[in-house]
Amino acid sequence: MVIKFFEKLSDNYLELLDDNEDFNIVINVGELPNTKIFQAHSAILRCRSLYFRNEFANVRKNKNNIKTLDLKHVSIQQFEIIIRYIYGGVVLLENYNSSFIFELMLIAYEFLFDELAKHLETHLIEAEAHWLRLNFTHIYKKRFQNNKPQELQKWCNDIIVKYPDKIFESEDFVSLQENALVSIISRDDLQMEEIKIWNYIIKW
């Protein structure tokens, strides 16, 4: 018989985040004036994250045996969720809007946290579909910057097939990436006349 006490284990590891002793990693998050320094432990980061294992493999220690990494493109709020996920497997999203969760999903995929990223992706599709539709062009463009969100890709493609004007009539259509446009016009089930498609291509 196996008895698992994960909740207490999670709490103990989260306590390490507030412990100023024995850390050997410093992570500078955000851009001025919104920056924060996070202290962490290489053993935990290496074990939990292939991304951080690879990043710190190329970083030299300072005279105090501490390695430093800068993550300017990540917000403090995003990293606070990520670091709590790393240490305790805990993610709290109640106070965050759909836009924040979408960006957090992209960061999670970048950091190779597929478990977390796929959970956020499913949440967006199942609980935030209205927001996804309202921001469809932005979502579609972002998706082509990161090909990992496969379920979101399928969701977007199903919308485009039925309602192609969501992309073609969008103000952001002309700034659509080439690979995204090719992905759309190469579909055999796109519900739009071919002459209209060519007119939009010329416009693009």
Judge if pTM exceeds 0.95: no
Residues 108-152 have pLDDT tens digits of 999 999 999 999 999 999 999 999 988 888 887 776 666 678 888
Helix, strand and coil percent figures for the chain, each rounded to 5: 60, 10, 30
**45-54, 90-99, 139-148: segment of lowest average pLDDT:** 139-148
**34-38, 85-89, 182-186: segment of lowest average pLDDT:** 182-186
Domains of the chain with bracketed CATH? 1-91 (3.30.710.10), 93-204 (no CATH)
Write the CA distances from 199 to 56, 136, 194, integer angstroms.
50, 22, 9
